[in-house]
Amino acid sequence: MASEGSRLQPDQNEDSATSDHSVAALRNLESFDGGSEGVILQAILRTKGKLMTEVNEFLALNNDIGSEFRDFLAQHETLRDVWKDCPMWCWMLDLLDRCHYRNAEKVERFIDRQSGHIEDVSDAAIEATRQRYFNYQSGAKQIEAEAEAGTISRTEARRRRFIWARIVAYEASGFILRDKMDRVRFNNACAPIIDAEMDIELPLTDETQVELSVLRRQGDELREILGNPFQFAAANDFGYGDIG
């Protein structure tokens, strides 16, 4: 099994070529106090007038990122700050995937948290929704069975389990957001009818504010459960190795 490597590497074996600019060098830069050594190292790390920060290196390795996410990333120097400030859970899940995050158990706990936000008329309806959008357990059990049987390696099982958890987390979070917005729009549409028919004036809800509020809550819950994966202490949450 291959050892763990820089989270900014493409998913590859250890003997593959790595990026020209190492993240380790960038982190060493943080220890300089602005003296001559720091100035020299900054000059070395500048490429075409741009300081090669951790985020710039990440962007160079991921040129298919959407424009809005790219613009947000470009406002930061480190991925730990990106994670701390990120307003969109979908961007956060994408960042985990691109950086080869592997702690599926934490992502699964986030899915469980989202399932607690299901709104419906009965326990049976809630359970049906949970099975449709929040069921990561069946996939995780299948992957574990394949690893136990020796069909796939433990490294590959870890990779697949995270990928499956990320997919379910995306579907689960998306469902909660869509469902909340559908309910707000329905209530806003009904308000003038109720006013006209029953002379009861109901306040309208600002849809944009609700959407931003749900997105922020989901992002905060992801941060609460995962912590900040891009802190040095979380290195074991990332992984590389043989595939298959």
Structure confidence at residue 228 (pLDDT): 95
Residue 4 counted as domain residue: no
Residue 65 counted as domain residue: yes
Residue 49 counted as domain residue: yes
pLDDT tens-digit readout, 115-154: 999 998 799 999 999 999 999 999 999 999 999 999 999 9
Average pLDDT, the chain: 83
Residue 185 counted as domain residue: yes
Helical H runs in 2-122?
23-29, 36-45, 54-61, 67-73, 79-85, 89-98, 104-115
Structure confidence at residue 236 (pLDDT): 81
Residue 1 counted as domain residue: no
pLDDT tens-digit readout, 64-120: 999 999 999 999 999 999 999 999 999 999 999 999 999 999 999 999 999 999 998
Residue 206, token pair as written in the block? 């600002």
Residue 244 counted as domain residue: no
Residue 243 counted as domain residue: no
Evaluate whether 228 touches 80 at the Cβ level (below 8 Å).
yes
Residue 13 counted as domain residue: no
Structure confidence at residue 8 (pLDDT): 62
Q: Which domain holds residue 110?
A: 23-237
Domains of the chain: total: 1
pTM of this structure: 0.75
Residue 194, token pair as written in the block? 């109720």
Q: How far apart are CA 148 and CA 166, in angstroms?
A: 22
Q: pLDDT tier at 36 (50, 70, 90 boundaries)? A: very low
Q: pLDDT tier at 6 (50, 70, 90 boundaries)? A: low
